[in-house]
A and B are shown apart, each in its own frame.
Chain A
């Protein structure tokens, strides 16, 4: 537990700004959205500001999240053996677990909760108090869970990938590893989304057009995916040697999916 607390202190010290920005953007964007929409009706000048904020935050949020996750993945990774964290009296597994928890809770869950809370507040305040019937509430929550799990899985996935890339020294090899990382993330994610979870399009999963049980399955599968990737990451941080196996497996996945995509075309 000491290890995890120490990590969270370290994480907060370094990424305080990013995490607060994520929370603020998530909390304010529904408000900005509703303000800009009502402003459009009334023709106010401030509308531009709020519209810009909404648009900007939609772009900024993923960039901030990606930055946060990449940073966590890269610093102190098993291949970054000269990082000071490797000589601390910590358990590498717990340190890695703390990272996964940070990413999921601070990076995804809290912003999602803030966004959801603010959206509900906006809806309740602007229209008449609307009480959703139980049949509508459950699919809504499932859809939210699907999205949140998807984002969380993606985040942990990027973190895993970043930690597998060797620390590039010069500009050239740095760009190369960044490119490889991006390609790997894309193809593997593609494979997992299409092949494993069979989420044909995220849209269908989040609208209520999917039957309840199917939506529940998707939600459940994504949760399993998040946990699975998280566990692989923790295991890798405990056992350096696993890195080679993982790279091989992921490389194979990328090749297989790239081939499949090409054939499909």
Chain B
């Protein structure tokens, strides 16, 4: 059973459509990254999945329960961290933990202490006196200490220095390894999540561009640069080639359904000298995003 399954999930704010017909599945035990530019609908997706906002249409199943009916049984296994989360500013870190601790049957005191030490958090400082980074780290402790089955992180790395980011990454990996937890995180910085994400979801203007395993995504994309055999050779771009450019005899594009055995010279009308190269996740994303822009114009 997938921890998250959505079906034509839609959320509107008045006339703005923040999420449009999003249908996806997050596999169990995966570290799934939701990527996209600012305003793509990442935060809205996460907030609507956890029933902070009501979906306007469609449905979602979170931990086997309809998202609209999420209750204490599910929330006891869901950890959520977001910069937009509000906490009473007069509350001290330790006080917040005191309030939530008894609500979670799986709370691990030792882990709580370890995380407080790792993130260097002073337990008696009030939230209003915390820097942005410390605030997020405090929320992390509250969300990780009970070893959630599903961890939802909204832009978790923003405001963290490289050392803290690194600590966070290793903590998340630890959680995935030890407890088989599923992690859903959103980021607008693709390079950051490239290595740890096993699955990626691209969102653009509320629409799902693609949702796939990182490995599969990477292996089917290749940057192809070719020098055509004959100057006049007509190399018509295929549907699945993105960003097709031509300068004289040289063409370049991003192939989206490449396999090991693809004979590129044949695809390009014979006799072309071809180089192929793999692409980073960011480059793959950009290729798709530019193509969508181009199609709209």
Contact = CB atoms under 8 A, between A and B. Distances in A.
A81 B95 contact: no
A13 B86 contact: no
Given A75-B88, A84-B86, 14 more contacts: A2-B102, A5-B102, A9-B99, A13-B99, A14-B90, A81-B52, A82-B82, A84-B85, A84-B139, A88-B103, A89-B73, A89-B75, A90-B103, A91-B72
Contacts of B91: 13-14
B163 to A, nearest CB: 26
A82 B86 contact: yes
Contact of B84 (A3, A82, A89): A82
Contacts of A6: 99-100, 102-103
Nearest to A7: B99
Interface residues of A, number: 21
User: Which 8 A-B residue pairs are closest in the complex by CB-CB distance?
Assistant: A89-B76, A89-B72, A89-B75, A81-B52, A10-B99, A83-B86, A82-B86, A13-B95
Contact of A81 (B53, B75, B87, B100): B53
A20 to B, nearest CB: 15
Q: Which of B71, B84, B88 has the most CB of A within 10 A?
A: B88
A91 B52 contact: no
A88 to B, nearest CB: 6
Interface string B51-79: 01110000000000000000111111010
Nearest to B146: A89
B50 interface: yes
Contacts of B71: 89, 91
Interface of A: 2-3, 5-6, 9-10, 13-14, 75, 80-84, 86-91, 240
Nearest to A10: B99
Interface string B84-114: 1111101100011011101110000000000
Nearest to A94: B72
Contacts of A82: 47, 52, 82, 84-86
Contact of A89 (B52, B54, B103, B139): B103
A87 B86 contact: no
A88 B102 contact: no
B80 interface: yes
A84 B87 contact: yes
A87 B152 CA distance: 11
A165 to B, nearest CB: 16
A190 to B, nearest CB: 33
A212 B74 CA distance: 53
B52 A88 contact: no
B106 to A, nearest CB: 10
A218 B88 CA distance: 39
Nearest to B51: A86
Nearest to A80: B86
Contacts of A87: 50, 52, 75, 78, 80, 85
Contacts of B100: 6, 88
Nearest to B104: A89
Contacts of B85: 82-84, 87
Interface in B122-178: 139, 142
A248 to B, nearest CB: 18
A14 B126 CA distance: 11
B80 A9 contact: no
B152 to A, nearest CB: 9
Contacts of A89: 71-76, 103-104
Contact of B47 (A9, A81, A90): A81
A99 to B, nearest CB: 14
23 contacts: A3-B72, A6-B99, A6-B100, A6-B103, A13-B91, A14-B91, A75-B88, A81-B47, A81-B52, A82-B47, A82-B52, A82-B86, A84-B87, A84-B142, A87-B50, A87-B80, A87-B85, A88-B100, A88-B103, A89-B73, A89-B75, A90-B75, A91-B71
Contacts of B99: 6, 9-10, 13
Contact of A13 (B74, B80, B98, B142): B98
Contacts of B142: 84
A3 B100 CA distance: 10
A5 B82 CA distance: 26
Contacts of A14: 88, 90-91
A9 B91 CA distance: 12
B128 to A, nearest CB: 13
Nearest to B87: A84
B87 to A, nearest CB: 5
Nearest to A90: B72
B95 A88 contact: no
A82 B104 CA distance: 20
A148 to B, nearest CB: 29
